[in-house]
Structure 1
Amino acid sequence: MPDTENRSSHQVAALFSHGRLTAIPRKVARREQLLAHLADTLFEHDRAYTEREVNEALLTVHEDCSALRRYLVVAGLLVRPKDGSSYRRGR
């Protein structure tokens, strides 16, 4: 397992240049690795976030915060109520 985690972290690190995400991966497996990394590093488990706070956090790594937010929600890494009033860490 440590080898897999180490390889995964290297693959995620390769997606960044000077702390910024160079592109959102098209391949699902790489995108899932990236999303898990973003969820772990940008969002706390026991805290609610407004959409603005989520966007501000995601903008620190990439300009397309809405795409990243949508991917995080679809992956279940961020969850929101039907009214969209807040976001929380998922799984």
Structure 2
Amino acid sequence: MDLDQRRERILSAFLRDGRLTSIPARAAKRQVVLEHIVTVFEPGVKFPEKEVDAALRAFYEPDWVSLRRHLIDTGLMAREDGLYWRTGGYVEI
């Protein structure tokens, strides 16, 4: 199974109708899901926490705060002075 197939398999296991069903416990699977989620944030744009929370709630209402924390902890997003910005993940060209 190649990397794209593995990624699609993980995403299909944890996403239903574009929403997260649960946050994966295994770090490798969680990383794939987080890399998918972070693509909703345009690189180079700083977002206030309220906008980040709204975007993450659309993915996972039960615990969007953990999603935000995971994005920061994995280096996919950074924050300073109440602003967040994307620092990693895939970019469509």
TM-score (norm 2): 0.86
Unpaired segments of 5 or more residues in structure 2?
89-93
Aligned counterpart, 2:47 = 49
1:90 lines up with 2:87 in the alignment:
yes
Please give the residue correspondences for 1:25-64 in structure 2 after superposition, counting only pairs within 5 Å: 25-40=24-39, 42-63=40-61, 64=63
Percent identity over the alignment is 37
Distance in 1, Cα, partners of 2:12 & 2:71: 18
TM-score (norm 1): 0.87
Q: Report how many aligned residue pairs link the two structures.
A: 87
Deviation string 1:27-54 (CA, Å, 9 cap, x unpaired) is 01000110011112x1110110010000
Structure 1 stretches of 4+ with a deviation exceeding 3 A read none
Aligned counterpart, 1:77 = 76
AA aligned to 2:55 is A
Structure with a larger share of its residues in strand = 2
Distance in 2, Cα, partners of 1:59 & 1:14: 19
Q: CA RMSD in A?
A: 1.4
